[in-house]
Amino acid sequence: MVSKKVTVINKMGFHMRPASAFVQAMAQFKSDINIVFNGKNIDGKSIMNVMAACMKQGSELELQCSGPDEAEMLQAAAGLINSGLGEE
């Protein structure tokens, strides 16, 4: 397992469009991704779980990836969040 801490920077957080983009990007990997937020574990491949977590701007997350392509998945996930999930 590999992990990394990131902060949500886009103004609207994980609303429908960026949450969908994140989940679709993570679906390309064989590994599993777990997002730790407010003491809860969120399945990063589940749009419903990601949306229900209410991760807003400034939220601190820990990304945990495990599986055969975990390093690549972690890099992609952190990159998406650090870039604002395609938003300003």
In a domain, 88, yes or no: no
Residue 85 has a pLDDT of 84
Residue 62 has a pLDDT of 98
CATH classification at residue 43? 3.30.1340.10
In a domain, 43, yes or no: yes
Query: Domain residues for 53?
Result: 2-82
Task: List pLDDT tens digits, range 17-45.
Answer: 999 999 999 999 999 999 999 999 999 99
Structure tokens at 82: 């650090």
Query: Residue 82: left (phi > 0), alpha (psi -120 to 50), or beta?
Result: alpha
In a domain, 87, yes or no: no
pLDDT higher than threshold 70 for residue 86:
yes
Non-local CB neighbours of 4 within 8 Å, separated by 6+ positions = 62, 63, 74, 78
Out of 15, 32, 36, 51, pick the active-site residue.
15
Residue 72 has a pLDDT of 98
* Residue 23: active-site member: no
In a domain, 64, yes or no: yes
In a domain, 47, yes or no: yes
> What average pLDDT does the chain have?
95
Q: Which amino acid is at 32?
A: D
Task: List pLDDT tens digits, range 57-79.
Answer: 999 999 999 999 999 999 999 99
In a domain, 11, yes or no: yes
Residue 88 has a pLDDT of 63
| Spatial separation of the C-alpha atoms in residues 9 and 11, rounded to whole Å | 6
Which is it for the CA torsion 47, 49, 53, 58, positive or negative?
negative
In a domain, 50, yes or no: yes
**Domain tally for the chain?**
1
